[in-house]
Structure 1
Amino acid sequence: MCRSSRLPLLAALLALFAGAVHAATPSPAPDSLQPLLATMYERLNIGDLAALAKWDSGKPIQDNAREALVIADARRQATQNKVNADEFADLIAAQIEASKVVQYGRLAQWQAAGKAPPTPRLDLEKQIRPQLDQLQQRLLQQYAAFSRYRTDPDCPHWLGKTRATLIKDQLHGQALIRASGELCAVGR
């Protein structure tokens, strides 16, 4: 094959490659993802405060009765707002599990150190849980705005990239992975 006859073939291959690269580039994340993940992260930071309250009171981290009430309330709120109740209940259950990751991690750190930090304490019943209830309302609104993107093939990419911008430490990073792990419903 002469050199001049290879040029059209080379041009066609380059065009094909450029098209494949363009097709493989994920679309931009929807505007609704970042606020949803930021609220999840905010909820995880409240887990630090809950851990302090439980450290001081000696209460266990696991509270099956409270968790069941929170998840039942999530179902009720979702139904009232015409959001898939099962999906939202699963999201809230993931938030609870992620918060426990933070709480167990903090307690382990403080046990190893022999003390908790001298951080101001909040009352679990009167201050922390009302904050969590408010965040659940916000999560519902944000989840409703994002839910249509859960099955987008680019969802895992968006999630990984956006989540990476929020993570400040390993413990909260692992917890955020748990909190958002079921957010994308691609390939299930």
Structure 2
Amino acid sequence: MRTPLLSLLLTSTLLLHGCATTPAPPTALSRLLDSVSQRLDIAEAVALHKWDSGQPVAAPEREQQVIANAQTQAMRFGVDGQRATHFFADQIEANKLLQYSALSQWHATGSAPSTQRLDLNTQLRPQLDRLQRTLLSQLAEFDRNRPAHCQATLARAIEQLDKSPQHSLALIRATTYLCSPL
């Protein structure tokens, strides 16, 4: 009686152990998506600043400044300037999508969350500037290691992330031209 029970337990344990998978090592795409996602995570804090100050979401002068800066830095990271321009224009549009969504929710409820506010100029923009350099480096790595069937791989990678529907949509917007021909 003991032998069949022991055998059953041992078999179950081995089967369960075989089902455990180790996470795949990060790829150039997964690292890039993680940084894009981090940049998008800042959108609500930016929206809070704009809510409090009454500033509009669109800031054309600042947007052009960010894109020009990315274009200037691109060569240092091995990224074509035009590629950097398109990539960061997509980042800005995705970020604005989340800002508009947050502001709409706050207008509908009549108030913004009572979370700690971060200063746009001294706290948020320096974070965005650091992320810009990281994103340029990772974009260069992605371009060197572009996956086969890029669009399908990208779509699956975004789908597998555990993000809210709004954040997922913003990720899709932020990566609209990621797989375009170089």
Report the TM-score range of the alignment, normalised by the length of the smaller protein.
Answer: 0.7 to 0.9
1:83 is the counterpart of 2:79? yes
The match for 2:171 is 176
Residue 160 of structure 1 is aligned with which of 140, 155, 159? Answer: 155
Query: With structure 2 as the length reference, what TM-score do the two structures score?
Result: 0.82
Residue 57 of structure 1 is aligned with which of 53, 56, 59? Answer: 53
Report how far residue 171 of structure 1 moved.
1.3
Q: Which has the larger radius of gyration?
A: 1
Letter in structure 2 aligned against 1:114: G
Are residues 29 and 158 of structure 1, via their aligned partners in 2, closer, same or farther at CA, if it must alter by over 3 Å? farther
Report how far residue 165 of structure 1 moved.
2.3
Structure 1 residue ranges (4+ consecutive) displaced by more than 4 angstroms after TM superposition: none
5 Å-filtered alignment, 1:133-148, equals 133-148=129-144
Report how far residue 82 of structure 1 moved.
2.8
1:115 is the counterpart of 2:117? no
Report how far residue 185 of structure 1 moved.
1.7
Cα distance in 2 between the residues matched to 1:29 and 1:146 = 15
Letter in structure 2 aligned against 1:37: L
Q: Is the 8 A contact 2:28 2:145 kept in 1?
A: no
Q: Is the 8 A contact 2:90 2:174 kept in 1?
A: yes
Are residues 157 and 29 of structure 1, via their aligned partners in 2, closer, same or farther at CA, if it must alter by over 3 Å? farther
Are residues 71 and 42 of structure 1, via their aligned partners in 2, closer, same or farther at CA, if it must alter by over 3 Å? same
Cα distance in 2 between the residues matched to 1:48 and 1:167 = 18
Letter in structure 2 aligned against 1:164: E
SS in structure 2 of the partner of residue 96 of structure 1:
helix
Structural RMSD (CA): 1.9
Report how far residue 168 of structure 1 moved.
1.5
Cα distance in 2 between the residues matched to 1:95 and 1:113 = 28
Residue by residue, what CA displacement relative to the aligned partner does 1:28-86 show, whole Å, maximum 9, x if unpaired?
99810001001101111100110011001111110000011100000110023331110
Corresponding pairs, count: 159
Letter in structure 2 aligned against 1:168: K
**Runs (5+) with no aligned partner, structure 1:** 1-27
Cα distance in 1 between the residues matched to 2:93 and 2:131 = 15
Cα distance in 2 between the residues matched to 1:179 and 1:167 = 17
Cα distance in 2 between the residues matched to 1:44 and 1:93 = 13
Residue by residue, what CA displacement relative to the aligned partner does 1:63-115 show, whole Å, maximum 9, x if unpaired?
00001110000011002333111011110110000000000000000000100
**Runs (5+) with no aligned partner, structure 2:** 1-23
